[in-house]
Amino acid sequence: MNETHNAKIVCTLGPASDDRETIEELAEAGMVVARLNASHGTPEDRAAIIERVKAVDASQDAPLATMLDLPGPEVRTAAIDSPVRIDEGSEIDFLVGEEASSSEVGLSVPITATAVGDRVLLDDGRIETEVLEIDGDRVRARVDTGGELGSRKGVNVPGVDLGLEIVTESDRRELEMAADRGVDFVASSFVGSAADVYAVGSVLEDLGMDVPIIAKIERADAVSHLEEIIEAAYGVMIARGDLGVECPMQAVPMIQKRIVGLCRDEGTPVITATEMLDSMTTERRPTRAEASDVANAVLDGTDAVMLSGETAIGSHPPRVVETMGEIVGEAEASEEYATLREDRVPDPGESRTDVLARSARYLARDLGASAVVAATESGYTALKAAKYRPDVPVIATTPDEGVRRRLVLSWGTTARHAPFTGPGEGADRVIHNAVQAAVDAGVVEGGDTVVVLAGLMTELERANTTNMLKIHVAAEIVASGRSVVAGQATGPVYRVRSGDLGDVPEGTIVSLDRGFDEEFTGDVGKIEGIIDAHEGMTGYAAMIARELDVPLVGDTPLPERVENGIVLTIDGERGVVYEGDLTAGPAER
């Protein structure tokens, strides 16, 4: 799977892509979140798809998350077998029902809260009508723009509060299934305020679910309450389809930029969605305008871009994801992208975590570090690291599998599982585990400098702060034992079995096995450090180390795979032996 992009790719699964093989292909192409649209199919269908996605996630190192997109208080036309023609200039009645014709359209919920002169728009505004009168449970309207009306098409009534509950009975059934299957995100449709987000959260809490809420911005009143919605939700989705019906079409591009900017400054993950590569539902190449649309979202700083029908019902879903990845990669490689990222670093405010995360960004840049490594239990620290958009990858490590999957939606973040500590271990072990996970992910190599940002919620031995920033050199631990003589030394290692130092070069790390029972002969001044397999603090080797003032790590047999001449670094204070030269700065390496 390609994890090199900062902007992530969300894919909607459907009949063209919900089998195990295609899900694997989409993940390999770059999908990090599988979206399930609850407006179509049944909860049982989605439960089966979730299990397939989780199986793919379990089979790969890179996390793959699931997102359940709730229908919310939507209004849809009746389910019909074939489209009906709605003629311009004709009159049409809307009422709750399960049939549709050219003169009467059944709806899923009543729209009698409308008033004369209100607009009723069908199928993303393709069919436009204006209310003429309300007669009991019927709303009569004039058709201003006609067209073919298909099955279960969306209905918008811009600027009108229809009095619908934000969480419908259908939504509750979906959430019960989601609680049972353990989805990673819940997308809430048609939110208009922070209160709507909290209402969804209350239902989730009642079901025992601790799941991040993605608030979909698709109503005009949501645009009026952006700041409070962004603060209340874990993330935001710019659902440009309904948004372009509820608001003037020409206003949508600037609304999109405003939402991305607000989310970027707050560190709130934002998804740009709807018709990004729509022509690829049937075609093998996107239009130039679609490619520009994706690239501009990336340049704005979106955390993710989303595919809908392109992957749900399209002719070649994996190719669409590959194409989107290519467009994202090209945009992110541009000088314009680098300049914008450097110019838009937000102010940290008074939050200590924000100050440290922003500092980590600039430390990584100025030191030539390979990554910012964020060790986090809840995901909070990693979100803050991503907020400041460093020009190196953010490697988030966490002991929580749910948090690992959740972080795939964050800009520039590679998430991996790593344990925090074991019994009696402290903050140093947290850092080691986090950095080792970055090495295992292939983002960091031994000898690379990394900036470690740790959010420690657990009480750890020797850790008296909830936030920690450290410059660290990544290296493989060759062996570890007991600190006997403090200090740090680097040099080629030589196993000394007889005590004869005649052939040992200057600046050597000598290794003594448990069978060594001799005294050194020759120039002991050549010794830079000692790795001793013997236990105890007062043996012959310890005496020599103290006399020479060189570090010694005791109770540390050197593995047989380590050959003479390999450069090692020993840390006498921690009792650890590393592979490579950790004393050189980034430029020297």
pLDDT value of position 431? 84
Q: Tell whether 84 and 183 lie within a shared domain.
A: no
Q: Tell whether 381 and 518 lie within a shared domain.
A: no
Q: Tell whether 462 and 402 lie within a shared domain.
A: yes
For residue 521, give the CATH number of its domain.
3.50.30.10
The answer as to whether 589 is a domain residue is no
pLDDT value of position 422? 58
Distance from C-alpha of 46 to C-alpha of 434, rounded to nearest angstrom? 35
Catalytic residue among 76, 257, 429, 589: 76
Partners of residue 235 on adjacent β-strands: 214
Lay out the sheet containing 371-376: strands in order across. Answer: 413-417, 394-398, 371-376, 449-455, 467-473
Q: Which of 486, 545, 487 lies closest to 512 in space, CA to CA?
A: 545
Catalytic residue among 114, 168, 274, 311: 274
The phi and psi torsions of 291 (rounded to 5 degrees) equal -60, -40
pLDDT value of position 358? 96
Q: Tell whether 308 and 236 lie within a shared domain.
A: yes
The answer as to whether 89 is a domain residue is yes
Q: Which of 577, 533, 579 lies closest to 556 in space, CA to CA?
A: 533
* Matching residue, tokens 């001044």: 525
Q: Domain boundary residue among 440, 474, 508?
A: 474
Q: Tell whether 286 and 359 lie within a shared domain.
A: no
pLDDT value of position 583? 66
**Beta-carbon-side half-sphere exposure of residue 423 (alpha carbons within 13 Å):** 0
Q: Is 274 in the active site?
A: yes
The answer as to whether 345 is a domain residue is no
Distance from C-alpha of 286 to C-alpha of 94, rounded to nearest angstrom? 37
Q: Which of 304, 308, 285, 280 lies closest to 294 in space, CA to CA?
A: 304
The helix/strand/coil state of 552 is strand
CA distances in angstroms from 3 to 29, 62, 363, 413, 421, listed in the order given: 10, 8, 23, 8, 27
Q: Tell whether 307 and 198 lie within a shared domain.
A: yes
Q: Tell whether 258 and 382 lie within a shared domain.
A: no
* Matching residue, tokens 């390609």: 2
Q: Domain boundary residue among 156, 178, 193?
A: 156
Catalytic residue among 8, 12, 35, 268: 35
CA distances in angstroms from 83 to 146, 147, 241, listed in the order given: 13, 10, 21
* Number of domains composing the chain: 4
The answer as to whether 347 is a domain residue is no
The answer as to whether 405 is a domain residue is yes
Q: Tell whether 174 and 308 lie within a shared domain.
A: yes
For residue 359, give the CATH number of its domain.
3.40.1380.20
List the beta strands (DSSP E) in 240-369.
270-273, 304-307
Q: Is 138 in the active site?
A: no
The answer as to whether 363 is a domain residue is yes
The answer as to whether 174 is a domain residue is yes
Q: Tell whether 317 and 373 lie within a shared domain.
A: no
pLDDT value of position 459? 46
Cβ neighbours around 44 below 10 Å, total: 9
213: Cβ–Cβ under 8 A, 6 or more apart, which residues?
185, 186, 187, 188, 197, 200, 201, 204, 233, 234, 235
CA distances in angstroms from 365 to 336, 382, 548, listed in the order given: 18, 17, 39
pTM: 0.83
The helix/strand/coil state of 341 is helix
The answer as to whether 88 is a domain residue is yes
Catalytic residue among 181, 216, 389, 416: 216
Q: Tell whether 273 and 124 lie within a shared domain.
A: no
Q: Tell whether 88 and 56 lie within a shared domain.
A: no
Structural domain range at position 89: 75-156
pLDDT value of position 436? 85
Q: Is 119 in the active site?
A: no
Mean pLDDT by 10 residues, the chain (589 residues): 82 97 98 95 95 96 96 93 96 96 95 96 94 96 96 91 91 95 96 96 94 96 96 97 91 97 97 97 97 98 98 97 98 97 94 93 94 93 96 94 96 91 67 86 85 70 58 83 93 93 93 92 95 91 95 94 93 87 56
Distance from C-alpha of 121 to C-alpha of 168, rounded to nearest angstrom? 22
Q: Domain boundary residue among 289, 306, 340?
A: 340
Q: Is 216 in the active site?
A: yes
For residue 208, give the CATH number of its domain.
3.20.20.60
Tokens standing for residue 502: 């005649």
Q: Which of 350, 332, 329 lies closest to 340 in space, CA to CA?
A: 332
Q: Tell whether 401 and 252 lie within a shared domain.
A: no
pLDDT value of position 424? 55
Distance from C-alpha of 187 to C-alpha of 22, rounded to nearest angstrom? 23
For residue 132, give the CATH number of its domain.
2.40.33.10
Distance from C-alpha of 474 to C-alpha of 580, rounded to nearest angstrom? 10
39: Cβ–Cβ under 8 A, 6 or more apart, which residues?
69, 71, 74, 76, 152
